[in-house]
Amino acid sequence: MRQFDWDRGIADYIKRGKTSRSVPLPDGTLDMLSILYYVRSLPLTAGMTVTRPLNSGKKIHPAEALVVRQETITVGGRAWPAFLIEPDVRKAGGIFKKSKKPRFLLWISADKRKIPLKVVSKVWVGSFFVELTDAPAEPVAANF
């Protein structure tokens, strides 16, 4: 387990309830999941590159993602304008580190919601894909 301590500027790795190692935590460091939310917060354009420090388990390294292009894809029986994003996962650790030529492709909707629509990945154990099956045409208002 990782724990980011922003006050100390340290990422601790906790194993069996004890800190097994600590590494410096540069400002703006993200993990693999939070980088998705970060990219979704940006005004995207085809050809742009996003760079952030990435905590990939035991190391922190600069991570890059290229907004390859804007295209229309069909998922959930609906055509969506989408951005194709390809992060460089070669240094991401874990299953990506074990792969000779790992790939991770992400399509997010090219609207204000930037919904993750599709993920395709190739790693040493095989390939997988995830695809949105249904989404409301417009954001649904919360009833609180």
What is the tens place of the pLDDT at every residue in 105-143? 899 999 989 999 998 887 667 677 888 887 766 655 545
Q: What is the mean pLDDT of residues 69-78?
A: 92
Instruction: Note whether residue 22 is domain-resident.
Output: no
For residue 127, tell me if it sits in a domain.
yes
pLDDT value at residue 73 = 93
Cα–Cα distance, 90 to 69 (Å, whole number): 21
Type of residue at 81: P
What letter represents residue 116's amino acid?
A: P
Considering only CA atoms, give the Rg of the chain: 17
Q: What is the pLDDT of residue 138?
A: 63
Q: What is the mean pLDDT of residues 17-40?
A: 80
Q: Is residue 4 part of a domain?
A: no
Task: Say which residue, 6 or 108, is predicted with more confidence.
Answer: 108
- 1-10, 17-26, 73-82, 131-140: least confident range: 131-140
Tell me whether residue 45 is in a domain. Answer: yes
Q: Alpha carbon of 6 to those of 14, 21, 24, 27, 61: distances in Å?
A: 16, 16, 10, 8, 17
Other CB atoms within 10 Å distance of the CB of residue 33: 7
How many independent structural domains does the chain possess? 1
**Higher-scoring residue by pLDDT: 26, 58:** 26
Range of the domain at 54: 27-131
Does a structural domain hold residue 6? no
Question: Is 13 inside any structural domain?
Answer: no
Amino acid 110 reads A
- On the question of pLDDT at 45 being above 90, the answer is yes
Is the separation of the CB atoms in 1 and 21 below 8 Å?
Answer: no
In a domain, 139, yes or no: no
Asked whether residue 42 is domain-assigned, the answer is yes
Residue 88 has pLDDT above 90, yes or no: no
pLDDT at 34: 81
Residue 49 has pLDDT above 80, yes or no: yes
Residue 12 has pLDDT above 50, yes or no: yes
